[in-house]
Structure 1
Amino acid sequence: MKLNKKSIVENKATWEKLGYSLPKYDREKVRKNTIENPNWIHFGAGNIFRAFQANVLNNLLNENKTDTGLIVAEGFDYEIIDKAFKSFDDLTIYMKLCCDGTVEKNIVGSIVESLRVDPENADYEVLKELFRKSSLQMVSFTITEKGYAVADGNGNIPAGIEADFKAGPYKATSYMGKVCAMLYERFKAGAVPLAMVSMDNCSHNGDKLKDAVRAFAKKWQENGVCDNGFLSYVEDDSKVSFPWSMIDKITPRPADSVMEMLIKDGIEEVDFVKTSKNTFVAPFVNAEEAEYLVIEDNFPNGRPKLEDGGVMFTKREVVDMVERMKVCTCLNPLHTTLAIYGCLLGYEKISDEMKDDELTKLIKIIGYKEGLPVVTNPGIINPKDFIDTVVEVRLPNLFMPDTPQRIACDTSQKLAIRFGETIKAYKNSDSLKVEDLKLIPLVFAGWARYLMGIDDNLNSFELSPDPMLEKMVPLVENIKIGDVDVHSKLEKLFSDASIFGVNLYEVGLGEQTEKYFVELIAEKGAIRETLRKYVG
């Protein structure tokens, strides 16, 4: 029992008896159709792609709603292609971890080809040929926000990118340089239209991708290393579009517990491995059942009918509303709240926190009572229903091995958007008052308490990675448990609008946040007592 095309054919009855859903379509026929007339290529061979996008198409193939599969390309960690794709005939075991304790076992076969975006490998020429095909409608990406960067935070261009600007399309070595080389190939084949769709979890992701592509096209044209007209092609929305999207699906790295399930079923060679670039890969992926993908419907060469698989297509402004709904109210603020107080109370799993009455009440009040009144309903997803799913299905999922320590990473970069936007909306409202926000300030006070690195039992703990720790920690390091006069020590922190989105004193929340902080540091057990006082 090994994951390969021979096994799922010859041992079909055994796989199905064990509860695995197998592809119901002829993979060889689908592969032939896809190579001859591709309509979707995806960059970024990571776990979310295999559990989400590839599975959506797998379902459509099973339902005879399409006869064309997916081609995946990897431009950063080439080892993934061999260790997670080629070795298993491009098949994936997708273990859907449901909140009711059940597991859905699916063999995803929609990926028909996996390629390295490597100029030194034969795959590169195959990819160029695919980009020349007029049938190609969409190129999508899950390469993380860092993948689109052509300059650092200070506007400096890294040496590798600068070298790519000078070398031209076919000598580019950066991820985005190699992607742009493929788009240049399509330009030379007749400037055929195409949608370039970022599906990474970052705000206005289409613009980030467009800015990166445009930077390469502009520099190549200025340096005379590409044909004139390429920049105009990239900038023409009727030729190359860069839709915005919002994606949401928790897909942790392969879990030991899931691997043990597969081994118990008799599946061989399912161990996960770590590549030389520290990517954890396996023949299986594990993910939660909930998933959302909303895409701006701007496809100049047409698009696959992914709406039949649950993908939502809409206007750009609606994508923006959905993203703000998720990031500012319905999910991310609740996650951050659990991360901060989970670390302070010694929790190691988000799902365990959801058994804590005070913490559950805390996030419900922040989401439903304080956040929901200022959310703009995007229409295609009901905000209350979204929070209901988060609180009742997603966060309590015992299968999801997410930790407050992981979610607490980079909290200083998250507070402004996850809570500050709600405060601003209250401030600008005619009917709502900022002083009615009672528990968002408790989150801020909790974060300041977290920065002390001392939990509710007064034991030290390690702070999660955050680029602002060196600046923030000194602001609280002179505060002792039991202090009551903290204004002079906290004023610099709570007035920092770059952290909270607003100066807490100017909007009338500074003193309240200080009051909460004093209660949180009163003595051993004060964090629990403060939570009971305000949410119990």
Structure 2
Amino acid sequence: MSAAESLGPALLGRLPSEVRKPAYDRSALRPGIAHIGVGAFHRCHQAEYTDDLLAKDFDRWGLVGINIRPPLLGQTLGRQGGLYTRLIRQNDEVEARVIGAIVRVVDSQESAAPALEVLSSPEIEMVTMTVTEKGYCHIPSSGALDLGHPDIVHDLAIPQAPRSVPGVLARALELRMASHGRPVTLLSCDNIPANGIILGNVVRAIAERRGSGLTDWIEANVAFPSAMVDRIAPATTGADIDTVEERFGYRDSGVVVGERFRQWVIENRFAGRAPRWDRVGAIFVDDVTPFELLKMRVLNGAQTTLAHLGVLGGFEHTSDAMADPVLAAFVRRMLSEETLPTLMPVPGISPPAYVEQSLARLTNTAIRHRNHQIATDGSQKIVQRLLNPIRDRLAKGESIALLSVPVAGWMAYLVKASARFGRAWRVCDPFAERIAAIADRVGSDSQALADAILAIDAIFDPALAASGAFRAHVIAGLEGLLSNDPMGFVGQACVVPTDARLKQPARSA
């Protein structure tokens, strides 16, 4: 085998013995699942579960990967026949496995037509998706379809050539109804609370504007189960690709990297046949909510907290932030004292043990998860990870001193990307320009900054924004985090009683 030979079907039989290979006949595999958003997470998670299922109980559950946003799949997975290497990295350990569940890839960035052809096909019985929070074109604070979103405006005007995920799905369902009428399950695998409900809401909202009986057909033939997914899978680097060639002797442009831990909890509500992922480690339940809240508020809440505060403290990766005693102590206390009391009982899981397990996962030095990557689209994430638990605690008259700090951290992260603060770093967030404009307009006054940002009702529910306690904590947090010593503020927030801090006179940052 040539040192630089590329991964592909012809190479499978000549891979090194230490590289795990698909344990089934790929030539016999037929598509039954379509997945929208074939990025690192899907290839580390749902595609791996499907690969496991095919090895255990072979059936017609091959995956067709679809991207309607960059990157182009044909240039990577397409050239490799859908094959790619999944690396598990745990500190100094590296484990390689070639995943074979993807039978075909479809690039549909220029036109929706290729995606619609796959999604409306009678052979597709399950559609999964990882399109990020903003892909649902919903209003984070309410969960409703954002009718002012440019792509939604376009899709409502030109439904035959949709641009958005909800528009593409609604059109695909319309084509299914008009042709063969076979049922289909649409399964969201994104970190959104009640993601199945949100997906159903946005698709039905478009369908209702189409008429033609589409809404009634969807009610009778389409399921939108909710799901909770978990595995840390950072963006692939050139070093990851080089690792495969150097250690295993072949070239793979589709490498993905993940941690050993994985979890998938799926609401047991399907339309027609569904893959039995529960036979290979997934959990089918009647109600995903307890698992969802646990993961989003603990693990994801910790990630969002460490990402924004970590950048403000000068740390590049999550593991770097966790290695800092101040940040590690802060996030552990925040989760233990303020987040855990907002959770529902979770069958078979001890929440305090889950906190420690989650924080231990974030210390993995081999997972080079950049804080800026985790901070991407923070405005779409803070509602479920931070604002909802804050609302729950305020309703019971309980302290929100610690949970408010990462909310202020998200604000400070975007504010410091403004011209007023020297554009400290580049950010990627749907509200980045709006918050930068606020910072440029009001300057460095923490109270004015907080008031203007809290007035963005697409993120902050007006009732929450009107809370005097919440507002006071956010102002204090923003002032401290925009100061010359943000980590000093975090350390103080972790040890000084809340009331004592709020009684101190406010200062301008």
TM-score if structure 2 supplies the norm length?
A: 0.80
Correspondence for 1:419: 386
1:143/1:514 Cα in 2 relative to 1: closer, same or farther (>3 Å)? closer
Provide closer, same or farther for how the CA distance between residues 359 and 119 of structure 1 changes in structure 2, counting only shifts above 3 A.
closer
> How far does residue 42 in structure 1 lie from its aligned partner after superposition?
2.5
Correspondence for 1:314: 285
Q: Does 1:247 align with 2:261?
A: no
Structure of larger gyration radius? 1
Offset at residue 211 of structure 1 (A): 3.9
Match of 2:131 in 1: 143
SS of 2:74 mapped into structure 1: helix
Superposition RMSD on alpha carbons, in Å?
3.8
- 1:347 is aligned to 315
Match in the other structure for 1:274: none
Quick one: distance in 1 between partners of 2:147 and 2:234?
28
Question: Structure 1 residue 41: deviation in Å?
Answer: 2.9
Query: How far, CA to CA, are the matches of 1:370 and 1:192 in structure 2?
Result: 47
**Once the two structures are superposed, what CA deviation does each residue of 1:152-190 show, in whole Å capped at 9, x if it has no partner?**
55366656414533x5xxx66766555445434543455
Q: Which residue of 1 aligns with 2:360?
A: 392
How far apart are the structure 2 equivalents of 1:442 and 1:79? 35
Per the TM alignment, residue 412 of structure 1 is displaced from its structure 2 partner at its CA by 5.0
Q: Distance in 2 between matches of 1:185 and 1:230?
A: 10
Return 361-370 or 374-383, whichever deviates more.
374-383
Residue 273 of structure 2: aligned partner = 302
Corresponding residue for residue 25 of structure 1: 24
Report the CA distance between 1:352 and its aligned residue: 0.8
Aligned match of 2:501: none
Match of 1:94 in 2: 86
The 1:212–1:373 alpha-carbon spacing in structure 2 relative to 1, beyond 3 Å, is closer
- What is residue 53 of structure 1 aligned with on the other side? 46
Maintained 8 Å contact 1:451/1:473:
no
Task: Mark the CA change 1:253 to 1:496 in structure 2 (over 3 Å): closer, same or farther.
Answer: same
Aligned equivalents of 1:470, 1:256: Cα separation in 2: 32
Cα separation, 2, equivalents of 1:79 and 1:344: 30
Contact 1:246 1:319 in 2 (8 A): yes
1:494·1:504 contact (CA, 8 Å) conserved in 2?
no
- 1:325 has 2:294 as partner: yes
Q: Which residue of 2 aligns with 1:291?
A: 262
**Cα distance change, pair 67–423 in 1 and its aligned pair in 2 (3 A):** closer
Distance in 1, Cα, partners of 2:478 & 2:114: 58
Q: How far is the alpha carbon of 1:91 from its aligned partner?
A: 1.0
1:96/1:289 contact within 8 Å kept: yes
Cα distance in 1 between the residues matched to 2:298 and 2:258: 20
2:51 counterpart SS class:
helix
Inter-partner Cα distance in structure 2 for 1:447 and 1:369: 21
Deviation at 1:345, TM superposition (A): 1.7
What stretches of structure 2 of length at least 5 have no aligned partner?
139-144, 496-509
> In structure 1, what residue type is equivalent to 2:235?
R
User: Could you tell me the percent identity over the aligned residues?
Assistant: 23
How much has 1:445 moved relative to structure 2?
Answer: 5.3
Give the letter for the 1:527 counterpart. Answer: P
Equivalent AA in structure 1 for residue 294 of structure 2: M
Alignment of structure 1 residues 48-197 onto 2, 5 Å: 48-62=41-55, 64-77=56-69, 80-98=72-90, 100-116=91-107, 127=118, 131-133=121-123, 136-149=124-137, 152=146, 154=148, 158=152, 160-165=154-159, 167=160, 177-188=167-178, 190-197=180-187
- Cα 1:137–1:382 change in 2 (3 A) is farther
Residues 83/518 of structure 1: CA separation in 2 closer, same or farther (3 Å cut):
closer
Question: Are 2:435 and 1:469 equivalent residues in the alignment?
Answer: yes
**8 Å contact from structure 1 (residues 475, 492) kept in 2:** no
Amino acid at match of 1:76: I
Deviation per CA, 1:127-152: give whole Å up to 9, x if none.
47x8324xx54222223445444975
CA 1:186–1:153: 2 relative to 1, 3 Å: closer
**Residue ranges of structure 1 left out of the alignment (5+ in a row):** 222-227, 271-281, 480-485
Question: In structure 1, how many angstroms separate the alpha carbons of the residues matched to 2:50 and 2:271?
Answer: 21
Partner SS, residue 20 of structure 1: coil
Number of residue pairs aligned between Structure 1 and Structure 2: 477
- In structure 2, C-alpha distance between the alignment counterparts of 1:119 and 1:68, rounded to whole Å: 29
